[in-house]
């Protein structure tokens, strides 16, 4: 059976690095799956562990914290 | 795009003539979408990528170019060549192409000029260095840099440009064009190549798919910068980069057609070696281009013999023409941190010159008063941007706009072609006013570039700037999902929904302002501290210079000459005078900082002076506490007065010239205490210092034998000239390794005490025994007094005890604590000119802050709910900026308190607080959680569907087979949805089991129109008929001929192979509502079974339906019930 499960990812990106990196991926037209939703934070350190749980609870399959 | 034609006038009053070449693109209109470059038919070698790939004749130099605006390369444009084409103009969605642009000349009235024209990598073509012109796989380090780059022509894959072969073995050859006396080369050291080659080798290894062999062929490894030796050690010991000390004498392509290269070299033991490499990288050095030289000639700037702008060590950023300053590699070979420091230094020298004119050209922006916000009446406006076709061609923008209109609180939506354009900005401003919006969401490009613009706009409409939420549907959506418009549109909707959810909870915030105390403190009165103080005072700010000794000068007092042979003692004398004569400077000697409190703009420090205390209030602080030479325990130091360190030897000779007269031989040992496991850094200045001393001795007494025992001779940059001179004078350089350090003992020769040194000479391969009269040690420079300052100002130290800058390259004089700056030896060992440049840089960064009337802080800071706080202090421990601390509140115990001026808004405290007592303004917990929930909504719905679809369906009910996703008619026919909207019709297992094998069945004709609940097929057995109703109204599209020919199919597989006919439904949705589905159908079938059991009576219960197997052919097995009754009960429902 074909596995067409596409996980929905919630990403917390640091404004200063990972978010800028995601912008650069755009400028460079690097293509990636459209199943990611980004929330910008001023630092990846801002990400409360509770938010990760909230993310999974709200329907996401995975949570990424990048910074 | 501009050139300086000429500079007339004098310092403080220059007229600069600048010629600007036409770009042929209107900068105000260009949105950098890149359509022009896609459409441009002309391909040109991409110079930025070292001609390794092609670009178009309209282009941006590289993805991160500032400004990000396209430019037409006139020399290669078809229109300029042939007079037609203008494809870019046709396709530009922003109407930005302007072929009518002309060269423009500007006259700028300025007070000072800073030159930073940069350098040009050495060109190996004229000298055909290492066969660069002949061998395709010999490339320069700049070419390799582009190969390595993820945004380069090969996207960072380690391939050869020639044949795309995956590279497995690379050699770097150092000093190409540097430390080379040939006509086309330069005899100076370029200073940066060792470090960049190591970096390239390490990154190449990281990028390579498999094991990559990297070898660096070098003469001396010059990793003299801060943290550089550590990097070198890691490359060698952990990453496995090979370092081979050898200058390659020849290389050639091997003759098997592979174009691989064979290197022949002599190893350290003196043996001839040869090795084959895929790629050879020439580590090319720094040169000044002809254009820059001629510009300098034009401007009347004096150049030194190497072509760099001539500058004294005492004024490292001043050129020969007053009022014109220099920074970066035009002033001599240097790396990024030094260039950045010099940039600040040049700006500082400029500011000192023009201090009276400060703030005379400033215009202050005025905003209307903010309207109060009615939180009970949410009025959110959503503006979705097309960005020309950038977003609009992928994301269905009107659809997103309409969707936004359905979200709670949204009262206004619009889509704009270019939201950032002047007219749209005005439109948004007016809309906010007219619609009385109290929250705004903009869905467009990146908030990192455009959020401030929209914040300004809503502020201009009287709305607080923090009531804006900006969501990124271009860079992080349309651009990265170009083949998936549907998903990209869905993503844009999700992002808008998340932004709306977040902005719902936004609150108006005010920027925080605290007054700036316009005085500065400089700690440390050495050369660096004195320069920093003088510069800050010259810029007009009250400065306190704190020195713990009783005189100024620091380590500078021990230095005789700079490497350029300038008198340091004389310089310090004059510098002291300038300081004493400057009314803005107060010099505090015998003084020590003992207490510091406050933050940028408002520091309070207590200084202990000769037993009394004095309080200073200041806005900023510059730390220049210096360093000192290490006192070694080895090499007989302290045990023989013939063993000295640093300047002590020359001091002794100066005091007693007889000693020098009597001496026959003198030796220097380098790296004493430096580059050792316990102190793995290079002290940077020792090689130059010892070489300078050796030259001085050799000049004074040419028959004196002078030995320098070294590990790598690091006379970096233009200091190389000293090394060359020393060798010419006959100074003997003997290399040793860390594993085989020289052995030193006392001995007696002809009744006189001497020092005997045993050392292994690598070149001769033998042990040498040297007897000298005096031994001088170049000992490590170690940090001094930084510990206390580090605690007072909460600034971190690196592993070696030197102050740590906020960013090694980008902020080399800033501390992570705002308002505190560092310079001089307390940052890292460095020569006089670098200390002065860094001091000027620190002064500039400090003066930058002092020039402000107040400290302004973004209100994205932490707030503490003291009712919840339990005073555990975790926040204070983890805050990297010292911006939150625990204070005692009378009667309440300990409570955390935020220090707004220090807070950077990272939010680590909020995430860590176990009590959830800390929150971040503008990124509040409930705002983020609202966004998370909004973001997950869609995913959750999809998930529910998937779960529903995956839930194992029932396959049988009371022994009758069912198919889970079919719809059932009360008359026991079924409907199955087909792709494309047709349906298949069949009869269920219950019917077949009850009525048993049929003799005949009549199906409707193809094309016949059938109405639901009327007879659609007829079953016949033993002369009986059963009229079976059609579940759905529609036209017969086809009938299953297989079943007609082979009725067994119907009994074997009633739900798949046994379908009877296909319908083109007329009103499917409506009809389906009347049928049983899933749970309903299970219930219905269970009821049908009950009815059957009632008919059969209790004794046959078991026979009729046992768990999984129902009895086949009830009709025949129970003739007493009868066909008619069965048909009427089950298969002819009345509607």
Which tens digit of pLDDT belongs to each residue from B1006-1038? 888 999 898 888 988 888 888 999 999 999 989
- What pLDDT sits at residue B63? 74
Q: How far apart are CA B1022 and CA B782, in angstroms?
A: 112
SS3 B950: helix
Compute the nearest-CA separation of B408 from chain A (Å): 19
Between B86 and B422, name the one with better pLDDT: B86
pLDDT of B686 strictly over 80? yes
Compute the nearest-CA separation of A36 from chain B (Å): 8
- What pLDDT sits at residue B292? 94
Strands B54-56 and B43-45: antiparallel
DSSP string, B741-786: --EEEEEEETTEEEEEEEEEETTTTEEEEEEESEEEEEEPEEE-SH
Q: Is A31 near chain B, with CB under 8 Å?
A: yes
The rounded mean pLDDT for chain B is 91
Beta strands, E only, B528-664? 542-546, 585-588, 591-599, 602-609, 612-618, 620-623, 627-629, 643-645
Given an 8 Å threshold on Cβ–Cβ distance, is B907 in contact with A55? no
Q: How far apart are CA B387 and CA B393, in angstroms?
A: 9
Query: B343 CB contacts (<8 Å, ≥6 apart)?
Result: B114, B116, B327, B328, B841
Burial classification of residue B566, based on how many CB atoms lie within 10 Å of its CB (0-12 exposed, 13-18 middle, 19 or more buried): middle
Most confident listed range (B386-395, B524-533, B1045-1054, B1090-1099): B524-533
Which residue on chain A is closest to B65 by alpha carbon? A27
Interval B1112-1128: pLDDT, tens: 788 888 788 888 888 88
The rounded mean pLDDT for chain A is 90
| CA torsion angle B537 B538 B541 B544 (round to 10) | 0
pTM, whole model, 2 decimals? 0.75
- What pLDDT sits at residue B981? 81
- What pLDDT sits at residue B1079? 83
pLDDT of B1106 strictly over 60? no
Q: How far apart are CA B427 and CA B967, in angstroms?
A: 54
**Residue listed under structure tokens 């990272």:** B906
Q: Tell me what the mean pLDDT of segment B1042-1047 comes to.
A: 85
Interval B913-940: pLDDT, tens: 999 999 999 999 999 999 999 999 888 8
CA B766 → CA B684, B706, B734, B759, distances in Å?
29, 20, 12, 9
For B382, the enclosing helix (H) or strand (E) is strand B380-385
Query: B346 CB contacts (<8 Å, ≥6 apart)?
Result: B114, B116, B317, B325, B326, B327
pLDDT of B952 strictly over 70? no
Is-contact B907 B945, C-beta < 8 A? no
Q: How far apart are CA B306 and CA B330, in angstroms?
A: 11
Q: What is the ipTM of this complex?
A: 0.97
pLDDT of B14 strictly over 70? yes
- What pLDDT sits at residue B209? 74
Burial string for B638-669 (b: 16+ CB within 10 Å, else e) reads eebebbbbbbbbbebbeeeeeebeebebbbbb
Q: How far apart are CA B1051 and CA B1053, in angstroms?
A: 6
Is-contact B837 B338, C-beta < 8 A? yes
Q: Which residues of B touch A52 (CB under 8 A)?
A: none
Q: Sign of the C-alpha dihedral, residues B849, B855, B861, B862?
A: positive
pLDDT of B571 strictly over 90? yes
pLDDT of B64 strictly over 80? no
Given an 8 Å threshold on Cβ–Cβ distance, is A34 in contact with B939? no
Using pLDDT thresholds of 50, 70 and 90, give the confidence band for residue B961: confident
Span of B50-54, B64-68, B331-335, B740-744 with lowest mean pLDDT: B64-68
Alpha helix positions (H), A10-64: 18-27, 49-58
Residues 476-505 of B with CB under 8 A from A: 476-477, 479-484, 487-488, 490-491, 494-495, 498
pLDDT of B770 strictly over 50? yes
Interval B158-190: pLDDT, tens: 889 888 888 999 999 999 999 998 888 899 999
For residue B181, count other CB atoms closer than 10 A to its CB.
Answer: 8
Mutation to test the B interface, candidates A59, A62, A63, A67, most B Cβ within 10 Å: A59
Q: Tell me what the mean pLDDT of segment B468-491 comes to.
A: 95
- Comparing CA positions, the residue from B274, B254, B152 lying closest to residue B204 is B152
Sequence length of chain A is 67
The Cα angle at residue A24 between residues A22 and A28, in degrees rounded to 5: 120
Is-contact B324 B113, C-beta < 8 A? yes
State what percent of residues in chain B have pLDDT above 70: 98
Tokens of B1018: 């007829």
Between B964 and B9, name the one with better pLDDT: B9
Between B732 and B598, name the one with better pLDDT: B732
Q: Tell me what the mean pLDDT of segment B647-652 comes to.
A: 94
Q: Tell me what the mean pLDDT of segment B824-847 comes to.
A: 96
For B983, the enclosing helix (H) or strand (E) is strand B983-987
- What pLDDT sits at residue A1? 40
pLDDT of B1105 strictly over 60? no
pLDDT of A2 strictly over 50? no
Spatial strand order in the sheet of B591-599:
B591-599, B602-609, B612-618
Given an 8 Å threshold on Cβ–Cβ distance, is B474 in contact with A26? yes
For B838, the enclosing helix (H) or strand (E) is helix B832-850
Q: Which residues of A touch B905 (CB under 8 A)?
A: 42-43
Residues 2-21 of A with CB under 8 A from B: 5, 8, 10, 15, 19-20
pLDDT of A21 strictly over 70? yes
Q: Is B1090 near chain A, with CB under 8 Å?
A: no
CA B1045 → CA B9, B412, B991, distances in Å?
107, 65, 20
The Cα angle at residue B640 between residues B637 and B641, in degrees rounded to 5: 100
Is-contact B391 B493, C-beta < 8 A? no
SS3 B514: strand
pLDDT of B368 strictly over 70? yes
């Amino acid at each position: 059976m074909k596995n067409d499960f596409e996980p929905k990812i919630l990403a917390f990106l640091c404004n200063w690095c990972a978010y800028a990196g995601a912008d650069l991926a755009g400028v460079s037209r690097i293509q990636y799956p459209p199943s990611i939703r980004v929330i910008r934070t001023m630092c990846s350190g801002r990400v409360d562990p509770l938010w990760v749980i909230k993310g999974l609870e709200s329907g996401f399959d995975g949570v990424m914290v990048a910074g | 795009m501009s050139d300086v034609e000429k500079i007339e006038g004098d310092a403080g009053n220059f007229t600069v003539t600048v010629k600007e070449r036409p770009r042929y693109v209107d900068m105000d209109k260009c949105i950098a979408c890149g359509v022009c470059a896609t459409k441009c038919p002309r391909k040109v070698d991409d110079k930025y990528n070292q001609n390794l790939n092609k670009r178009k004749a309209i282009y941006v130099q590289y993805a991160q170019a500032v400004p990000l605006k396209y430019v037409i390369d006139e020399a290669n444009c078809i229109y300029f060549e042939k007079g037609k084409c203008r494809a870019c103009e046709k396709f530009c969605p922003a109407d930005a192409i302007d072929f009518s642009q002309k060269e423009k000349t500007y006259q700028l009235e300025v007070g000072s000029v800073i030159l930073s024209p940069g350098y040009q990598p050495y060109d190996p073509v004229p000298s055909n260095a290492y066969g660069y012109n002949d061998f395709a796989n010999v490339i320069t380090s700049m070419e390799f840099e582009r190969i390595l780059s993820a945004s380069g022509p090969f996207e960072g894959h380690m391939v050869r440009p020639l044949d795309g072969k995956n590279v497995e073995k690379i050699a770097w050859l150092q000093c190409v064009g540097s430390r080379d006396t040939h006509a086309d080369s330069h005899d100076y050291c370029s200073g940066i190549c060792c470090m960049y080659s190591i970096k390239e080798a390490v990154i190449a290894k990281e990028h390579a798919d498999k094991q990559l062999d990297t070898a660096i062929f070098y003469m001396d490894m010059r990793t003299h910068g801060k943290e550089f030796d550590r990097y070198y050690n890691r490359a060698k010991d952990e990453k496995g980069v090979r370092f081979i000390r050898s200058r390659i004498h020849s290389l050639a392509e091997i003759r098997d057609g592979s174009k691989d290269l064979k290197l022949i070299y002599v190893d350290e033991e003196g043996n001839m070696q040869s090795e084959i490499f895929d790629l050879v990288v020439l580590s090319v050095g720094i040169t000044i281009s002809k254009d820059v030289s001629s510009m300098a000639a034009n401007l009347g700037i004096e150049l030194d013999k190497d072509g760099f702008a001539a500058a004294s060590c005492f004024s490292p950023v001043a050129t020969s023409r007053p009022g014109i300053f220099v920074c970066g590699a035009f002033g001599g070979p240097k790396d990024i941190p030094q260039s950045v420091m010099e940039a600040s230094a040049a700006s500082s020298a400029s500011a000192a010159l023009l201090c009276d004119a400060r703030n005379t050209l400033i215009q202050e922006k005025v905003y209307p008063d903010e309207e109060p916000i009615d939180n009970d009446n949410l009025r959110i406006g959503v503006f979705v941007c097309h960005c020309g076709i950038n977003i609009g061609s992928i994301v269905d923008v009107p659809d997103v706009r309409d969707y936004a209109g359905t979200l709670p609180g949204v009262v206004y939506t619009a889509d704009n072609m270019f939201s950032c354009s002047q007219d749209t900005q005005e439109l948004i401003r007016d809309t906010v006013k007219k619609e009385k919006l109290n929250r705004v969401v903009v869905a467009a490009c990146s908030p990192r570039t455009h959020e401030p613009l929209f914040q300004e706009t809503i502020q201009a409409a009287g709305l607080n700037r923090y009531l804006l939420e900006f969501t990124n549907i271009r860079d992080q959506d349309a651009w990265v999902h170009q083949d998936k418009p549907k998903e990209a549109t869905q993503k844009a909707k999700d992002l808008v929904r998340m932004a709306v959810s977040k902005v719902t909870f936004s609150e108006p915030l005010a920027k925080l302002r605290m007054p700036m105390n316009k005085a500065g403190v400089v700690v440390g009165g050495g050369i660096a501290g004195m320069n920093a103080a003088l510069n800050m005072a010259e810029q007009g700010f009250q400065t306190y210079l704190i020195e713990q000794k009783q005189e100024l000068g620091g380590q500078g007092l021990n230095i005789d000459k700079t490497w350029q042979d300038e008198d340091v003692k004389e310089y310090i004398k004059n510098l002291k005078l300038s300081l004493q004569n400057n009314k803005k400077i107060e010099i505090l000697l015998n003084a020590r900082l003992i207490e510091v409190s406050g933050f940028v703009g408002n520091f309070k420090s207590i200084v202990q002076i000769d037993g009394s205390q004095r309080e200073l209030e200041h806005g900023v602080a510059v730390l220049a506490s210096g360093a000192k030479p290490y006192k070694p325990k080895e090499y007989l130091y302290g045990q023989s007065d013939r063993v000295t360190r640093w300047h002590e030897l020359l001091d002794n000779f100066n005091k007693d010239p007889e000693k020098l007269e009597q001496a026959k031989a003198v030796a220097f040992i380098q790296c004493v205490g430096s580059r050792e496991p316990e102190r793995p850094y290079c002290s940077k200045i020792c090689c130059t210092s010892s070489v300078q001393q050796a030259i001085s001795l050799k000049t004074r007494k040419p028959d004196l034998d002078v030995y320098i025992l070294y590990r790598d001779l690091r006379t970096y940059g233009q200091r190389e000239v000293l090394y060359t001179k020393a060798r010419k004078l006959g100074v003997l350089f003997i290399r040793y390794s860390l594993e085989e350090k020289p052995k030193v003992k006392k001995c007696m020769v002809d009744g006189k005490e001497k020092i005997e040194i045993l050392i292994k000479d690598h070149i001769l391969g033998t042990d040498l025994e040297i007897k000298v009269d005096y031994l001088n040690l170049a000992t490590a420079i170690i940090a001094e007094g930084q510990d206390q300052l580090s605690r007072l100002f909460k600034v971190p130290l690196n592993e070696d005890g030197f102050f740590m800058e906020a960013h090694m390259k980008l902020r080399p004089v800033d501390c992570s604590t705002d308002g505190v700056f560092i310079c001089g030896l307390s940052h890292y060992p460095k020569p006089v000119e670098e200390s002065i440049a860094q001091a000027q840089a620190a002064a500039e960064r400090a003066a930058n802050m002092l020039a402000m009337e107040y400290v302004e802080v973004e209100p994205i800071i932490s707030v503490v709910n003291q009712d919840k706080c339990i005073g555990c202090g975790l926040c204070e421990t983890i805050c990297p900026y010292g911006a939150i601390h625990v204070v005692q509140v009378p009667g309440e115990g300990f409570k955390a308190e935020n220090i707004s001026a220090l807070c950077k808004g990272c939010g680590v405290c909020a995430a860590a607080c176990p009590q959830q007592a800390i929150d971040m303004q503008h990124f509040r917990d409930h705002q983020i959680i609202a966004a998370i929930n909004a973001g997950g909504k869609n995913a959750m719905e999809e998930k529910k569907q998937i779960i529903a679809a995956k839930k194992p369906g029932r396959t049988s009910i009371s022994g009758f087979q069912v198919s889970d996703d079919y719809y059932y008619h009360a008359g026991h026919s079924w409907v199955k949805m087909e792709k494309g909207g047709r349906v298949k019709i069949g009869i269920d297992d219950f019917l077949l089991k009850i009525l048993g094998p049929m003799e005949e069945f009549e199906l409707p004709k193809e094309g016949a129109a059938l109405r639901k609940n009327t007879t659609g097929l007829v079953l016949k057995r033993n002369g009986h008929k059963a009229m079976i109703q059609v579940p759905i109204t529609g036209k017969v599209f086809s009938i299953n001929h297989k079943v007609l020919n082979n009725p067994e199919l119907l009994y074997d597989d009633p739900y798949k192979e046994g379908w009877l006919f296909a319908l083109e439904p007329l009103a499917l949705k409506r009809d389906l509502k009347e049928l049983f589905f899933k749970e309903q159908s299970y219930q219905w079938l269970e009821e049908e079974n009950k009815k059957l059991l009632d008919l059969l009576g209790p004794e046959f219960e078991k026979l009729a339906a046992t768990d999984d197997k129902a009895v086949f052919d009830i009709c025949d097995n129970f003739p007493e019930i009868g066909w008619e009754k069965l048909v009427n009960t089950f298969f002819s429902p009345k509607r």
